[in-house]
Structure 1
Amino acid sequence: MANVNTRLNVAPVPPDEIFALNGAYAVDTFPHKVSLGVGVYRTDDGKPWPLPVVQKAEKQLVVDNDLFRHEYTAIEGDVPFLGIARDLMFGFEGKQTEEEAKARIGSVQTVAGTGANHLGAIFLAHHMKPRSVWLSNPSWANHQTIWELAGVPRKTYPYYHAATRSFDFEGMMSTLENDAQEGDAVLLHACAHNPTGLDPNKEQWMAIADLCERKNLFPFFDSAYQGFASGSVEEDAWAVRYFFNHKPDMEMCVAQSFSKNFGLYGQRVGAFHYVTNRSSTSIRDIVVNNLCHLIRGEFSMGPRVGCSIVKKVLTSDELTADWHQDLQVMSSRIKAMRQALYNELVRLQTPGTWEHIIQQNGMFSYTGLSPKQVYALKDKYHIYLLKSGRASISGLSEKNVAYVARAIDDVIRTEN
C-alpha cells in the first residue's frame, strides 16, 4: 500500500446497521426474501404507500402553481407550517390560556426528525451544557451518534427487561433517581419506542414527569410516530401534552418528525420546539434567534416541498379528515400483522412466550431473538432484521407472515 501524506486523522467507522442491512436485502435474489429491517411503511404487497391524502395535496399544489414554491423561506422555516406543526404536537383546543401557552413555545423547521434531534442536541450543548444526556437502553442507534457529535457525555437508563420482554419502569426510575444530576437531559420517546415498541402507561408517564421536575432534569422528547402508532394524534401526543400542561414550571423540548405519519420519508419534514417555563416566556424569541444562528451556519433553512404538503393537508378540514383515515389504515395494518405473527407462533407452539409482540406498540417489535437466531434467519431463510432482534412489523404481510413464523420456530428449535 502506498504511503499516504495527509493532515487528516481519520479511522474507519462502523457502517450504519440499518442501511447496510437494507443494502444486503436489495441485492438478495431469493424470491421469498423478507425485509424486517428498515422503518418504513409497506402495503400487504410489500410496496411503498404514498398516502392518498398526500397525493391529493400534491395535485392541489400543482393546480395552485404558486410562483414562490421554489423560493427561499425564512431561516426559521415556513412560518405558517411551524404554527401548524406546533398545534398538532401540543394541542390547544378549548384552553382559556391558549395564547399564554403558545407564548412558551419557540419553533423552527428542521431537516426531519434526525435534524430536529441534532439541532436540539447542539443547542443544548452550547447553551445549557448538560453534564450528561440519559438515553434509554436500548434506544434508536442514531441518538448515540447525534449526542456524540454534540459533545455531550452519554449515559443510559434501563428500559428493556429481557427476561419478561417488558418495559423496565422500576429500573428506569431507580437509575434516574439515584444517578441523574440536576441539569442533565433525559431523552424520552413520545410514543412507539424505537426499538422496543414498549411505552410507559399514563400513570408511569406522570411519575416520570414528577421525577424530572423534582430533580430538575431536562426532558427531550423525540416524537417520530404521532398518529402512526395508535391511529390517534391525540393519544400519541399524550405524554408531551401532559408534561407541557401539568409541569408549566419545567423547560423541555420536542423533536418532531413527519416522515412516518405522512409517509414523507425522503422529503425530510420536521420541526424542533423549545418550551420555556411559564415565567420565562420573554426568552422565547431569543431561543429562536439562537436556533436560527445554528441553522444558518448548517443548512440555512428547512426544505420547502414536504412542509407545503403537510400545510396543505392540515389547513383543509376535508384533507385532514382524509389524513386521519390514512393513519387508521397504516396503524390498523401494523396491529393486524402483530396479531397474525403472534397467532402463527402460538399455533406452531414455538418455544417461549410471545404475548409481547401484541403488547408492544408501533412499527417495531423487540422480538427477543438472539443475534445467533437473527443470523440464522438471514442465512437460511433470507429474512432480514437487526441483530438486536428488532423487527419492523411493516415488513410482514398476509403472504409472508406464516413463512416468517415457521422460520422463527425453526431457528429457535434448532438452537434449543
Structure 2
Amino acid sequence: MNKACSGQISARVVSERKEMNCGIHGVSFSSSATPSERRLSALARHLISPSESCSCSASGVSASITSSDVGSVFSHVARAPEDPILGVTVAYNKDSSPVKLNLGVGAYRTEEGKPLVLNVVRKAEQQLVNNRSRVKEYLPIVGLAEFNKLSAKLIFGVDSPCIRDNRVTTVQCLSGTGSLRVGGEFLTRHYHQRIIYIPVPTWGNHPKVFTLAGLSVKSYRYYDPITRGLDFKGLLEDLDSAPSGAIVLLHACAHNPTGVDPSIQQWEQIRQMIRSKGLLPFFDSAYQGFASGNLDKDAQSVRMFVADGGECIVAQSFAKNMGLYGERVGALSIVCKTADVAGKVESQLKLVIRPMYSNPPIHGASIVAAILRDRTLYDEWTIELKAMADRIISMRHQLFNALRDRDTPGDWSHIIKQIGMFTFTGLNVRQVSFMTREYHIYMTADGRISMAGLSSSTVSHLADAIHAAVTHVA
C-alpha cells in the first residue's frame, strides 16, 4: 500500500472514530438508561483523548450522567471510627500546637522525643547488607528456622526441658498480633474448648483478634480501680468458675494497659489454679526485657508453666524490645506433651498460615537472628534494652515527684509501682478530654499513657495538666 493511500485510510478512520465519539457523548442517558448504555458511556470516557473529545458536546456526559446515577456498590459502607489507640496519633498529627504531646501509641521515644533505631539493629542490618550470598527467596511457611529456634530459647531459656525434649514447635508470625491470630485460628480448629478468658482491662486488639479467629471471648477480673493494683481475689475466683479446658490469656509481663503484674508468689497461685482446673494458658509476651530490663526475669511467668511439664502457648513480639515496630517480627510457640504431638501441631499450623499470608517476611527475622546468634551483638542489645527500661523507670519517678510537688489531690504511688511502657493513670474520660483540649496532651480515653513518650522536658507539662484535670474536672 502506498503512502497516499495509507494516509487517506488513516484520516478516514480518525474521522469516523471522532464521529462515533461525539455520537456517544451526545446521547443523554436518563435514570432509566440500560446497563449496557451506561457501560458504553463509561468506556467512551476512558477511550477518548482530550483532543478528540473537545469537539463533542460539552454538556453530554457531565450533564446527564451523575454520580447518583452511576452509583457505587460500596455506597452503603459506613465510615468506621478511628482505632482507639492508633487514632490518637491521627488526632495528634492534626494539632498545630507547639506544646502538643503524644502519649498514646506504645512506641519508644528518646529524651528528645524522636523514634529510636537501636545501634545493634543498625549493625545487624549492615552485616546482612554486606553478606552478598543472601537472597530474597520465599521463606518456608513456618518462617526462618534459625529465628524460630533462637526465639524459643529466648523465651523458654536455653536449658528449657521443652526445647531439650523437642516438645515445642515455633513458627514465625507477623509480630504479636499475627502470632495471637494464628494461635487463635489453630485453637478454633483443633482444640475442644472454644472459650478464651481475657483480663479486664486488656490490650484493645485482644477481643477482636480472638473473636475473628472464631473463639468465644469471656473475661476475668484483673485490675482494681480503687487500689489501682491487681484484683487478685477476683482473678482467682473468675478462673475457678471457668469451664474445664477454657483458654486463659495471660500477659507475660508489663501488663497492657495497666502496668500491673502479679508477684512471683501470685503467679505460682495462678499456675496452680490453671493446672488444677485443666485450663490452657496462652501467654502474650510483647515486652520481654522491656519491663524490668532483664530478659530472664521478664520470662519467669512463662517458664513456671513450662517447668511443670504442662502445655501452653506463647505469642512473642520483637517490636518493643528490639524497636522493630514496622518489621512485624513475632513468633508463636506451642509447648506440647511429646515431640510427636509437637510435630503434628506444626503441620496444622502450616495449614493455618498458608491461606492467611503464605509465608512471613525475611528481613526483620534475619535482624533478630543475627543479634541473638552473635554473643557480641546480643550483649550490646541487652545493654541498650536495659537503658530503655531504665529511662522509662526514671520517667515514672519524675512524674510522681512532679505531682507530689504540686500537691496534686489523690494517691499517685501507683505510677512508680506499675511496670513497663504504660501507666494506667486512673484519669476518667472527661479528664482525658480536658487535658487534650486545654493542654494538647493525647492519650487513650481510658487514661493510659505511654511513659516511653515522656521526657524530662515534658514531665512538668504533663504534671500541670494532670493537676488541673483532677482539680477542676470531676
**What TM-score results when the alignment is normalised by the length of structure 1?**
0.95
Output the CA distance in 2 between the equivalents of 1:9 and 1:185.
Answer: 38
Output the CA distance in 2 between the equivalents of 1:98 and 1:182.
Answer: 24
Residue in 1 aligned with 2:316? Answer: 256
Residue in 1 aligned with 2:13? Answer: none
Output the CA distance in 2 between the equivalents of 1:224 and 1:50.
Answer: 18
- Unpaired runs of 5+ residues, structure 2, are 1-66
Matched letter for residue 158 of structure 2? F
Change (3 A) 1:344 1:9: same
Q: Give yes or no for the alignment of 1:221 onto 2:288.
A: no
Residue in 2 aligned with 1:267? Answer: 327
Q: Give yes or no for the alignment of 1:20 onto 2:87.
A: yes
Matched letter for residue 157 of structure 1? Y
Q: Deviations over 1:223-266 (max 9, x none)?
A: 00001111111001000011101x21x22100000000000000
Change (3 A) 1:122 1:10: farther
SS in 1 for 2:116: coil
Q: Give yes or no for the alignment of 1:327 onto 2:385.
A: yes
Q: Give yes or no for the alignment of 1:283 onto 2:341.
A: yes
Q: Give yes or no for the alignment of 1:380 onto 2:432.
A: no
Matched letter for residue 281 of structure 2? P
Matched letter for residue 265 of structure 1? Y
Supply the RMSD in Å over aligned alpha carbons: 1.7
Matched letter for residue 290 of structure 2? F
Shift of 1:6: 4.8
Residue in 2 aligned with 1:147? Answer: 210
Shift of 1:130: 2.1
1:54 to 94, 118, 121: 121
Matched letter for residue 242 of structure 1? M
**Which segment is superposed worse, 13-22 or 257-266?**
13-22
Residue in 2 aligned with 1:87? Answer: 153
- Relative CO higher for 1 or 2, CA cutoff 8 Å, sep ≥ 6? 1
1:36 to 103, 114, 119: 103
Change (3 A) 1:75 1:8: farther
Matched letter for residue 293 of structure 1? L
Change (3 A) 1:372 1:81: same
CA contact (8 A) 1:220 1:252 kept: yes
Output the CA distance in 1 between the equivalents of 2:401 and 2:96.
Answer: 29
CA contact (8 A) 2:200 2:221 kept: yes
Matched letter for residue 269 of structure 2? A
Shift of 1:13: 4.4
CA contact (8 A) 1:92 1:98 kept: no
Output the CA distance in 2 between the equivalents of 1:217 and 1:227.
Answer: 27
CA contact (8 A) 2:400 2:412 kept: yes
Shift of 1:12: 5.2
Output the CA distance in 2 between the equivalents of 1:396 and 1:251.
Answer: 39
Residue in 2 aligned with 1:77? Answer: 143
SS in 1 for 2:333: strand
Q: Deviations over 1:66-102 (max 9, x none)?
A: 332x111111100011000000010033x6x57544x
Shift of 1:29: 0.8
Change (3 A) 1:75 1:98: closer
SS in 1 for 2:296: helix
Shift of 1:59: 1.3
Residue in 1 aligned with 2:467? Answer: 409
Residue in 1 aligned with 2:26? Answer: none
Q: How does 1:183-202 map to 2 (within 5 A)?
A: 183-202=245-264
Shift of 1:397: 0.5
Q: Give yes or no for the alignment of 1:395 onto 2:395.
A: no
Output the CA distance in 1 between the equivalents of 2:145 and 2:316.
Answer: 15
SS in 2 for 1:237: helix
**Which segment is superposed worse, 261-270 or 19-28?**
19-28
Matched letter for residue 322 of structure 1? E
Q: How does 1:338-377 map to 2 (within 5 A)?
A: 338-377=396-435
Count of residues in correspondence between the two structures: 407
Matched letter for residue 224 of structure 1? A
Matched letter for residue 444 of structure 2? L
Q: Give yes or no for the alignment of 1:208 onto 2:270.
A: yes
Residue in 1 aligned with 2:295? Answer: 233
SS in 1 for 2:85: helix
SS in 2 for 1:259: coil
Matched letter for residue 410 of structure 2? G
SS in 2 for 1:140: coil
Shift of 1:290: 0.5
CA contact (8 A) 2:162 2:335 kept: no
Residue in 2 aligned with 1:64? Answer: 131
SS in 2 for 1:86: helix
Change (3 A) 1:355 1:257: same
- Unpaired runs of 5+ residues, structure 1, are none
CA contact (8 A) 1:182 1:216 kept: yes
Shift of 1:294: 1.0
Residue in 1 aligned with 2:33? Answer: none
Q: Give yes or no for the alignment of 1:124 onto 2:182.
A: no
CA contact (8 A) 2:102 2:453 kept: yes
Change (3 A) 1:201 1:305: same
Shift of 1:10: 6.1
Q: Deviations over 1:388-410 (max 9, x none)?
A: 00100111101110111011101
Change (3 A) 1:116 1:99: closer
Matched letter for residue 382 of structure 1? H
Output the CA distance in 1 between the equivalents of 2:85 and 2:225.
Answer: 22
Matched letter for residue 454 of structure 2? L
Query: After TM superposition, what 4+ stretches of structure 1 lie above 2 angstroms from structure 2?
Result: 1-15, 97-101
**What TM-score results when the alignment is normalised by the length of structure 2?**
0.83
Shift of 1:2: 4.5
Rg comparison, structure with higher value: 2
Output the CA distance in 2 between the equivalents of 1:137 and 1:234.
Answer: 26
